Chain A
């Protein structure tokens, strides 16, 4: 009696030979697994890529991945919760491995007027070089001098300028409350006009150089937030912890997840929908794979009958079919993953570009109208495993058939 190892080796050899005895059948079955893996990977990669893109665009346009604030600033948004800009901390944050930009901002709400027209507007003091690295504010300057070209003055959003009836070179009055309740009032000359796609911003934003804003609001050396842009969202928690460790306890470190719960909700809802869509896809794929396995089994009923009649143990026959299914599944899944890698990488590098009104609307919001794919390794492995599991369940079918197989009837070609 040969030992277990050689028996297994024999089964594998038998299974291998069975597979290549009928190449066409094997290719069809392997093809169904291949196609299933490919579709599942493509689908999931597209969804994940879209989410990453949503996060990246939203974060890059507004809050950054992380922000450091004075305690309670985020809830109260008052200058009294501002913090001192600690240049040593700024330098240390900027030198952290995944940090792409660290952007200090001093933000408040003030009255902007010209003549008898007054509007309530957000006024924000920025540091042009780092702000440019993150939100690219210079690209939004439609008239006047950009900061990078030596612009010194105040930038006013297009819609606000139109409402006030002002343009580059005119003066406006800023009136509001500064740090610790000091009145802030100043006449400022407009250095440039900004265009934003988001109507709220385009109708209201006023931006100053940080030192000018600090002067105006009697908050020398103070900022309300240090926004931090990372090179990848994957490093979010790790970087947040590192910053928490270096910042003193009077400051709070928030991630975009806390600052933009709407975005998180949107993504979570979409993720839920994605899971349901994948489940639907698995059902459809499952029927395809199962159908193939069933046909294969039906076709081989006579062969099974002969083998058993000749004295092959049912157990052994079952083992051989299971090994066959495993080989087909593995080959199909590997081929599917190997094929999907270049395809997803291609669409990751050169995303699908959308056209038509939708693209125009997205562009108007400052979003690129693209559908990028994600190439997160877990997508390939995860989807491959799921399809293999579907294959494994389908592989139970020949085992069940073998258990109840009637050799004589099977050889005669009787079909149940």
Chain B
């Protein structure tokens, strides 16, 4: 009964209801879009880091990540790699020899991280091979090829096909030198990575090391959702090794994620506050406008609690309608920009200067829609309380005598 009256009231004044619905829809749209932006930004950052070099899961010998000593290799690497490959959910596996080395050009010397890889597996596991700006990722027929970051090439003052001498300490303590020729330059968006990363074929590196040493097994899984499951399975299978996910490997990504969460929370709070105030204002105006109507209702015997209930129900209907419209608009906007991207350089000069991808692709995880919608509906109802109280406190005689 009350609901029927409230529903009729909502559509009695189309303009007033329209503006309320629009305000709520706008708030919800804003909330959904903001969530989409933050999620998209973070997802892109994580995906870039995972694709670049991190991969989803890495396996090391204990202590290697801290000390990075050449002797801390994974025992029986072949059987470990084979066992990881056969694990469910694992997409590709790239075993790597990782050595802290010195790269010397005729003009300069730089400390570098030397990765000895199997080009085929590495190409499947990471995106470096797709980020080549000169030469190729071990596709040419050169002897002893080396692929380095463009940034490192600049530091060393070398170009494609130049000679590069790599030196490092062997497990027995002797220093070994190897001459390589630059076969490719890559440019990812991470300057630090580009400035200190060197790839060679393991086939060329193993003779220098003197034995087969695998320090790192990079594992790419089919879906990020099975991350913990795969990592858990691997670590129970190899208790003597350290199995870590990208979350453990790159704590700074986690920090960024949490900072994005905090900013998003504050922003949603601000939007809700703005919405709360906007709705309170509009409802209050609407109650003032309907003074005579409420006066009459109370005079003919409608209980004040029911009047209050009616106003709350009206707001509930308004906000639910607004929520539906808002979620529809919000998801449409997120879908639209999610495929096309938002060019952030349009809003912030200087971003495109460095040739990084300045496009932001909003994404909303489905669970966020009901969360934001419920928040908005609750906020809307909360903001109807004060106007409702005002209506209930009316004195019927004076109210009926009022204009309006």
Q: A residues touching B (Cβ–Cβ < 8 Å)?
A: 24-25, 28-29, 31-32, 35-36, 39, 42-43, 46, 75-78, 80, 109, 111, 115-122, 159, 162-163, 176-177, 199, 203, 261-262, 264-265, 268-269, 271-273, 275-277, 280-281, 283-292, 294-296, 298-299, 302, 354, 357-358, 361-362, 364-365, 371, 413, 415-416
Contact = CB atoms under 8 A, between A and B. Distances in A.
Contacts of A286: 26
B69 interface: yes
Interface in B263-318: 266-267, 270-271, 273-275, 277-279, 281-282, 284-286, 288-289
A281 B68 CA distance: 49
B258 A361 contact: yes
Contact of A43 (B102, B157, B267): B267
Contact of B23 (A117, A121, A291): A291
A35 B348 contact: no
Interface stretch (B84-92, B106-114, B215-223, B367-375): B106-114
Interface of B: 13, 15-16, 19-20, 22-23, 26-27, 29-30, 33-34, 37-38, 41, 66-69, 100-102, 107-111, 154-157, 169, 172-173, 175, 190-192, 251-252, 254-255, 258-259, 262, 266-267, 270-271, 273-275, 277-279, 281-282, 284-286, 288-289, 342, 344-351, 354, 356, 358, 360, 403-404
28 contacts: A29-B281, A32-B277, A39-B273, A78-B107, A116-B173, A118-B169, A118-B175, A119-B100, A120-B100, A120-B101, A262-B190, A264-B350, A268-B350, A269-B358, A272-B358, A276-B347, A281-B267, A284-B275, A287-B26, A288-B277, A291-B20, A295-B281, A295-B282, A295-B286, A295-B288, A298-B15, A298-B285, A416-B15
Nearest to A42: B270
Nearest to B67: A163
B347 A284 contact: no
A287 B34 contact: no
A275 B281 contact: no
Nearest to A367: B255
Contacts of B284: 28
A295 to B, nearest CB: 3
A347 to B, nearest CB: 12
Contact of B278 (A288, A302, A354): A288
Contact of A299 (B37, B277, B404): B404
A210 B289 CA distance: 79
A269 B343 CA distance: 10
Contacts of B286: 295
Contacts of B403: 302
A361 B345 contact: no
B347 A271 contact: yes
A298 B281 contact: no
Contacts of B100: 119-120
Question: Which of the listed residues A42, A273, A294 has the most CB atoms from chain B within 10 Å of its own CB?
Answer: A273
A122 B347 CA distance: 39
A337 B350 CA distance: 30
A283 B102 CA distance: 56
Contacts of A299: 285, 288-289, 404
A28 B281 CA distance: 6
B157 A76 contact: yes
B289 A271 contact: no
B332 to A, nearest CB: 15
Contacts of B274: 35-36, 39, 281, 284-285, 288
Contacts of A271: 347-348
Contacts of A296: 285
A265 B354 contact: yes
Given A111-B102, A299-B285, A265 B68 contact: no
Given A78-B107, A122-B111, A365-B255, A25 B275 contact: no
A280 B108 contact: no
A291 B172 CA distance: 78
For the complex of A and B, list the 9 residue pairs with the smallest distance between their C-beta atoms, beginning with the closest.
A288-B278, A295-B285, A272-B344, A116-B173, A287-B23, A280-B30, A272-B348, A120-B111, A291-B282
A203 B190 CA distance: 21
Given A43-B267, A288-B281, A76 B107 contact: yes
A209 B286 CA distance: 75
Contact of A261 (B26, B191, B251): B191
Contacts of A283: 26, 29-30
Contacts of A35: 273-274, 277
A361 B350 contact: no
Contacts of B342: 272, 276
Contacts of B101: 120
A76 B154 CA distance: 7
Nearest to A413: B404
Contacts of B155: 75-77
A52 to B, nearest CB: 15
Contacts of B27: 284, 287
A82 to B, nearest CB: 13
Contacts of A75: 154-155, 157
B67 A295 contact: no
Contacts of A371: 262
Contact of A272 (B34, B110, B347): B347
B389 to A, nearest CB: 15
Contacts of A292: 278, 281-282, 285
B344 A268 contact: yes
B157 A276 contact: no
A159 B349 CA distance: 40
Contacts of A289: 278
A281 B33 CA distance: 11
Given A281-B271, A299-B285, A203 B258 contact: no
